[in-house]
Amino acid sequence: MDTSIEQKVQQLREQLNRWSHEYYVQDRPTVTDHEYDETYHELVRLETEYPQLVTSDSPTQRVGGVVLEGFEKVTHQNPMLSLSNAFSKEDLQAFDDRIKKLTNRTIDYVCELKIDGLSVALTYQDGQLVLGATRGDGVIGEDITHNIRTVKSVPLSLEHPWSIEVRGECYMPKKSFQQLNQLREEEGLEVFANPRNAAAGSLRQLDSKVAASRNLAVFLYQSPSVETLEVASQMELLEKMQALGFVTNQESVLCHSIDEVWAFIEKMTVERNNLPYEIDGIVIKVNDFKAQEEIGFTVKAPKWAIAYKFPAEEAQTIVRDIEWT
Ligand SMILES: NC(=O)c1c(N)nc(OC2CCCC2)nc1O[C@@H]1CCC[C@@H]1O
């Protein structure tokens, strides 16, 4: 087989992955769906004719053919920690006071929306996605690579051969949750209680064709590979991950005081209903990594981060659903 076919297949594969990145990661498509589909089917035709040219990062390989028997266990080299909770402005003030006692550095905070999904860890080896795992109990998770690969905003390969791990939240957008439950109701199936359960149920499917039909998404917010990435703060990490092609949440802000943090919380308490995904609070993290190291951890959670949880809104839930449907 001549190399021009090989080059053609590689060119189509890279073109489709770039278009997919524009659409699912940057939300700025430069081609029509029709143009994407035509190119995709040209690649499928060539890969069918020359199967030896298929690579694992080809867009045609996102949905695997095999239905798994079960999930392999995965041990996280760096435990995936949880978060302590705050429920009031006073709790946040106490958090700020504790921080000030544990370091003399000037402290800035990064506020991130607390995405109400399922924590996942993505491992890339020489730029190729090799593992997708759930958080599990923080140390032992499950290998869900076959389902993570179906999430369109998860790159199957990176532009440069990075060997890194990135972590974030896999979630189901509100609209997809609505449509899924409507479908399940029509089919007489049990509906999911909330988008988080729907995302978890989708990622725990043994058949990746089911996961692929669930329109899952991810936001990435953490990485144990900060030395490799050469970043010195949470804000730099978020910017670096975005530059590498990962989706990070664009609402994250840098705050210079706990009062600014509280102002952001008040703003998002109102705006959360208009977000296309569910959040159950705001995660506040000390920005500087050296300060984080000084402040340290408890057994299960960092002392340099806290999750402000929105008040449970049982009564409003019905109103909320009616408002945006
Ligand atoms: N759900 C979130 O949006 C979120 C976030 N934005 N940032 C973190 O930071 C980690 C890193 C250090 C300790 C927690 N964790 C999050 O969720 C955690 C993961 C496990 C329990 C919480 O859901």
Could you identify the residue written with the tokens 């081609």?
Answer: 31
pLDDT at 325: 33
d(Cα 47, Cα 15) in Å, to the nearest integer?
15
Q: Is 144 in the pocket of ligand 1 (CB under 6 A)?
A: no
* Cα 35 to ligand 1 centre (Å): 38
Which residue, 248, 245, 244, is CA-closest to 220? 248
Q: How many CB atoms neighbour CB 316 within 10 A?
A: 12
Would you say the C-alpha torsion 112, 117, 119, 123 has a positive or negative sign? negative
* pLDDT (mean) for 122-137: 98
Q: What is the pLDDT of residues 177-217, one digit of tens each?
A: 999 999 999 999 999 999 999 999 999 999 999 999 999 99
* Cα 305 to ligand 1 centre (Å): 9
* pLDDT (mean) for 244-269: 98
Report the half-sphere exposure of 77 (CA within 13 A, side-chain side): 10
Q: Is 288 in the pocket of ligand 1 (CB under 6 A)?
A: no
d(Cα 133, Cα 185) in Å, to the nearest integer?
30
Q: What is the pLDDT of residues 232-250, one digit of tens each?
A: 999 999 999 999 999 999 9
Are 220 and 167 in contact by the 8 Å Cβ rule? The answer is yes
Q: What percent of the chain has pLDDT over 90?
A: 92
∠ Cα 141 142 148 (to 5°): 115
pTM, entire model: 0.92
Q: Is 169 in the pocket of ligand 1 (CB under 6 A)?
A: yes
* pLDDT (mean) for 140-148: 97
∠ Cα 179 121 209 (to 5°): 40
Q: Is the pLDDT at 320 greater than 70, yes or no?
A: no
What is the end-to-end Cα distance of the chain in Å, rounded?
54
pLDDT at 321: 43
> Helix (H, G, I), strand (E, B), or coil: what is residue 134?
strand
What is the ipTM for the molecules in this complex?
A: 0.98
d(Cα 87, Cα 30) in Å, to the nearest integer?
44
Using 50, 70 and 90 to split pLDDT, how confident is the model at 25? Answer: very high
Q: Is 115 in the pocket of ligand 1 (CB under 6 A)?
A: yes
* Cα 53 to ligand 1 centre (Å): 39
DSSP string, 152-173: TTS-SB-SS---EEEEEEEE--
Which residue, 229, 211, 208, 207, is CA-closest to 220? 229
Cβ-proximal residues to 191 (8 Å cutoff; 6+ apart), any chain: 181, 184, 185
Bridge partners (DSSP) listed for residue 122: 132, 166
Query: What DSSP state is assigned to residue 24?
Result: I
Catalytic-labelled residue, pool 73, 114, 300, 303: 114
Q: Is the pLDDT at 60 greater than 90, yes or no?
A: yes
Distances (CA, A) of 94 to 66, 121, 147, 292, 306: 51, 31, 41, 17, 11
